[in-house]
Structure 1
Amino acid sequence: MMDLLNTKAIKTTHGLELYVDLIENIKITELHIPTISNPYYEVKFEVDYFLLEEHKYYDLHQNYFWIVMDENLSSITLKEPEMQSLFGVKNEEEREATKQLLGEWFIKTTAYKKAITRYVNECEHHNIDIKKNQRTKEIVQFLKKLLELNTMDIEKALMETPVYF
Structure 2
Amino acid sequence: MNMLESKVIQTRFEKEIFIDKKSNIVINGFRSLDKSTSYYEFKIGLDLIRIREDEYYGTKKSYVSIRISEDLQSLFIIEPEIQSIFAVKNKQEKEAAIELIRYLLVESQSFKHMVTDMINNLKKENVFTGLEMKELKVKLAVLERLLNVSDEEIHFKVLRENIA
Counterpart position of 1:82: 81
Counterpart position of 1:153: 153
Distance of 1:58 and 1:152 partners within structure 2? 36
Q: CA deviation at 1:22?
A: 1.4
Counterpart position of 1:67: 66
Q: TM-score, normalised by structure 2?
A: 0.86
Whether 1:162 aligns to 2:154 is no
Distance of 2:85 and 2:124 partners within structure 1? 31
Q: CA deviation at 1:58?
A: 3.2
Counterpart position of 1:135: 135
Counterpart position of 1:93: 92
Q: CA deviation at 1:128?
A: 6.4
Q: Point out where structure 2 has 5 or more consecutive residues left out of the alignment.
A: none
CA shift digits 1:95-117 (9 cap, x unpaired): 111111211x2122232112212
Distance of 1:10 and 1:38 partners within structure 2? 33
Q: Which moved more, 1:78-87 or 1:47-56?
A: 47-56
Q: CA deviation at 1:119?
A: 2.0
Indicate if the aligned counterparts of 2:32 and 2:39 stay in contact, CA closer than 8 A.
yes
Q: Structure 1 residues 55, 19: closer, same or farther in 2, change over 3 A?
A: closer
Counterpart position of 2:49: 50
Which one has the bigger helix percentage? 1
Could you tell me which amino acid in structure 2 is paired with residue 119 of structure 1?
M
Distance of 1:10 and 1:124 partners within structure 2? 36
Could you tell me which amino acid in structure 1 is paired with residue 69 of structure 2?
D
Q: Point out where structure 1 has 5 or more consecutive residues left out of the alignment.
A: none
Could you tell me which amino acid in structure 1 is paired with residue 136 of structure 2?
T
Q: Structure 1 residues 128, 142: closer, same or farther in 2, change over 3 A?
A: same
CA shift digits 1:129-155 (9 cap, x unpaired): 9x992221111111111111123333x
Percent pairwise identity: 29
* Number of residue-to-residue matches in the alignment: 162
Q: TM-score, normalised by structure 1?
A: 0.85
Q: Structure 1 residues 164, 71: closer, same or farther in 2, change over 3 A?
A: closer
Q: CA deviation at 1:55?
A: 5.3
Indicate if the aligned counterparts of 1:28 and 1:115 stay in contact, CA closer than 8 A.
no
Indicate if the aligned counterparts of 2:73 and 2:153 stay in contact, CA closer than 8 A.
no
CA shift digits 1:28-56 (9 cap, x unpaired): 12211111122211121110011111153
Distance of 1:117 and 1:30 partners within structure 2? 18
Q: CA deviation at 1:2?
A: 7.2
Distance of 2:161 and 2:52 partners within structure 1? 27
Indicate if the aligned counterparts of 1:127 and 1:136 stay in contact, CA closer than 8 A.
no
